[in-house]
Each structure stands twice: as C-alpha cells, then as structure tokens.
A and B are shown apart, each in its own frame.
Chain A
Amino acid sequence: MYFKTRLNQLQHKFDYYKQAYKHLFRIGSRIKYGEYTPQDIKYNIQSVPISQTDNYNNLSTQIYFSNHYSISEKWDAYFGLRYEHYGLIDNNSSSLLKEQSNHINSVITLSYFINKQTSIKASHAYTAQNIHLASMASIPLPTDVWMPATERLPHEKGHQATIGIFKDLAQSKYEFGIEFYGKSIENQLLLNPNINGDESLHFEDNFFIGKGLGYGAEFLFKKNRGKTRATLSYTLGQMKQQFPNMNSGEWFNAKYDRRHDVNIVLTHKPNKRFDYGLVFMYATGNTATLPTGRYFMMGNIANDYSSINNYRMPAYHRLDLSMNYYIESNIFHESVLNFSIINIYNRSNPYFIYFETQKGDQNYDMSINAKQSSFFPIVPSISWRYKF
C-alpha cells in the first residue's frame, strides 16, 4: 500500500500601518491560492492494483483591519476584524468559484497595568479556519492530512479565551507569567481512509465531523540579561474531542492531548570565546487507538477495540547540549566551532507503534509483539561555521 498527501500554497499579501496619536492602525489584504491533494492512494486488493487521487484547489480573499489603542497609562486595547471570501476553484465549470462562503474572524485583547511591573491581560478570539488538519481515525500512522474546507466539510470554527497575569522585574531582567486558556472548536475532522474499495462519490464522505474542547494553564519564566539566561515554560492542558457516531458519542482525548509540556532553554556565556547551551523538553505522548482483544469471525482473527484513543504513547523527552567556541581569525568575519550532542541520554522517543504477528510451526501457533519505531538516538555532531 502507498499513501501520499501534499499541498502547495501561493499567496499575495498587502499591509499598511498608520500611527495616529494613541492609535496604531493596520489594514491589509491577502489573496491565497492553495492546491491540495489530501489523498493519493495506491493499494492492491487480491493483486488488482487500485489507485485514487483527490485534488482540491481553493481561493481565499481576505481583508483585515486592526487597531492597537493605548487608552491610558493603565489601559491598553487591541482589536481586529478579518473578512474572508472563500471558494473552491472548479476547472470544469464555467463559473470560476463554487461552494462559496463568507466568514468573519475577530480578536480583542485588553491589558490593565496594576503598576509598572504587573499587568493583567484578557483576550478573546473567534476564528474560522479554511483548512483542516485531520488525523487518521483507524490506522495508528504518524501521518495527518491537510484538507481544505468544502461545502460538506465547513470551516473549522473556534472560540478561544485567555486570562493571564504577567510580572516584569528589574527593568525586564526577569519575566513571569501565568495564563489560563480555554477553547471550543466546531467542525473538527478525523479521516477514515477508504481502503475497503467501497464506491464513494465524494472523498469528503470519508471524514468524521466533530467537536473539540481544550483548556489549560501556561507558566512562563524568563531571564533576559546576564551571563546566564533562561527560558522555562510549562503547560498543563487537556484537549478532548467528540464525534456523533464514534465512541458511543462520548468525549475522548484527542491525538495531541498533552497533559504536560515542559521546555527549558539555558545559555551560559562566561566570556567572549565560549558559550554553552542546554535544551530540555518533555511532552506527554500522543494518544492512539490500539486493539484490546481478539476474536474469531468467519474463520479469521479480528480485533476488538474498547474505545477511541484508549492508549497513551510513552512520553517524549530529550536533552541536548551544545558548546560554541569562537575562533579569532583575520580571514573570516566570524568563525565558530560548534560541538553538540542531541538526545544525550539516548532516549528512544516513540514515533509510532505497530504489531508484529509471529506464526509458529504447529497449527494455530501464533503470538503478537508490539514494536516501537523511533528517530534520533544520541547524535553527536561537530560543525564549523564561518562568515566572510
């Protein structure tokens, strides 16, 4: 079996800024043309090769307006509106665009400065997105498919609200922030690849349409000056999905549901010749749908699934170290030797999991092993960078 998915985009952008008194205005337009091939599939059924390719071309014309308004020393506001005209390009029809629709996006942010160091920020955004990222519902492959909006698969619409408190210490040497967010999304997609060879008139019928709900908190610490600098961030979150005819209509954790997400970046520059860097990341593993049982049906062995995304892949974590040595040189403007080790403790981070069936010599002998594929074991590298 062979499965490919691809996309091309071409866009024209125009922006104009104007500052007047306490306002910073921005108006702009964007024309975006996209070519999508969400599915280019070839497979064999009883050694008869079957192939199917689905193409979508779309055109999105947008105009937008925003204003950053410094109301007073204490208050700051930002709002924006975006209008989109959207349609699919039909090469066979006399009218250029079909399945046309109009959409409005909006964003508003309010900041209040309690004092010079502390501020509170709240925001709301409404978005209508003309492209979907659809994970596969049935096959635990690490591939997702980009699918443009059509009449049957309307724009992905979402509300997102945040509220946070931010603190700046010692003239922005240190920054702290805590932010809470919540979002609800409509028209999320999951792809159910049609590999049974069923006749389906529309490729769009292979998608499930459902809802998403996410919420969480982000913590941020930054040290911006000095020999040692740091950025630490931690997000505690949850992302759930619901589809009418899946999982008995109950909410389940999305593929990219990430309970914990830690990022640490440290740099140390003791003098002009050396600097050292450390990057650590930790993220809860993706969820996957794995069978929990097996049974016999029509002389074959079939899988029994208990629920969607019932399995949590192992966590992704990695530590990278690097060192730069600046060589003094008369020939080069800059000459740097870089030593780095990626994934220093050789963690096998899961990319995907699959099953291997082994048959024995005897009748009925069979066992199943789970195997994990991963990329990037410990990778030491050395490089020399120079500028004339």
Chain B
Amino acid sequence: MHLINKNTFHNLKILYVFIACNLFCISCTKVIEIDLPDYETKVVVDGWIETNQPAHIFLTNSSPYFSDYDSASIRNLFINTAKVSLICSDGNSEILTLFKQDEFFPPFVYKSVEIIGEENKSYQI
C-alpha cells in the first residue's frame, strides 16, 4: 500500500516540477514601464580641431532616455541655427559655418574656413 503511494506521489511530484519549470520559463522576462525622473534637455557640444585641419563642432540636444528615434524626431535634436565663434590664442576669430556632411553623424557640422589647427595654439568656442 505504502509502496504504491510512494510511486504515485513521486510521479505527481515530477509532474508538478515539470509544470513549475514551464511556468518559470514563460514568466522569466517581461517588458515593463519605467518611470524615470523628468529629464531636462541639455545642449551637447562635441568637437575637435587637429593640426592642418579646420575645427569641427557638433551641436545637439540630449533627449529623455526612452524617446524613440526616427528620421523626423532625430532631426529635431540637431541644432542648426546656432552662432558658434572660434577664437584662437593668436587673436584671430571666426564665426563657424554650418555644413551638411552625410559621412558624419550627426550629419550637420559647424566648421571653420579660415582658421586651421596649428600646434602650440589654444582655441576657444
């Protein structure tokens, strides 16, 4: 009697463990909504100047973490109406010109036309 009991319960247990494993796999991960604190958009300045090359400056807005990007919404993040001045330590200065260059991302870049990077000089924007 007890032997029969034991086997029956043993089988039942296997069945339950099996069901449990299935449940486990189904409900492992799920997409959730996350409430992040309000994000204040900041202006991001990224750029470089190298020897014998013009200055490159990228101006963009940062965006909340969960914003979706597509070609329309991403365009709104590019700042294309800024006035960027470059001042060299030798006293020269220039207002940078906006170019569209698809090889870059973002594809809009403010570049200098007259000022070319020289060694041992410092530059301010």
Contact = CB atoms under 8 A, between A and B. Distances in A.
Interface in B84-120: 104-106
Given A366-B69, A379-B23, A290 B63 contact: no
Nearest to B66: A368
Interface string A191-234: 00000000000000000000000000000000000000000000
Q: Among A303, A337, A367, A377, which residue has the most Cβ atoms of chain B within 10 A?
A: A377
Contacts of A337: 9
Interface in A290-308: 290-299, 303-304, 306
Interface string A374-387: 11111111111000
A299 B42 contact: no
Contact of A310 (B23, B27, B37): B37
A49 interface: no
B46 to A, nearest CB: 5
Interface stretch (A85-93, A250-258, A356-364): A356-364
Contact of B28 (A293, A374, A379, A380): A374
B95 to A, nearest CB: 23
Contacts of A366: 68-70
Interface string B9-36: 1001100110110011011111111101
B34 to A, nearest CB: 4
Nearest to B33: A370
A333 B59 CA distance: 80
Interface residues of A, number: 47
A348 B27 CA distance: 8
Contact of B42 (A291, A293, A296, A382): A293
A370 B31 CA distance: 6
Nearest to B12: A382
A353 B62 contact: no
A346 to B, nearest CB: 8
Contacts, number: 127
A360 B73 CA distance: 14
A290 B19 CA distance: 35
A299 B65 CA distance: 17
A329 interface: yes
Given A304-B42, A311-B34, A379-B20, A292 B65 contact: yes
Interface in A80-102: none
B27 A377 contact: yes
A293 to B, nearest CB: 5
A172 to B, nearest CB: 39
Given A364-B74, A372-B30, A292 B6 contact: no
A292 B36 contact: yes
A377 B27 CA distance: 7
A311 B69 CA distance: 23
Contact of A299 (B20, B66, B77, B104): B104
Given A293-B64, A370-B33, A379-B20, 7 more contacts: A290-B34, A291-B65, A296-B44, A377-B24, A378-B23, A381-B13, A384-B9
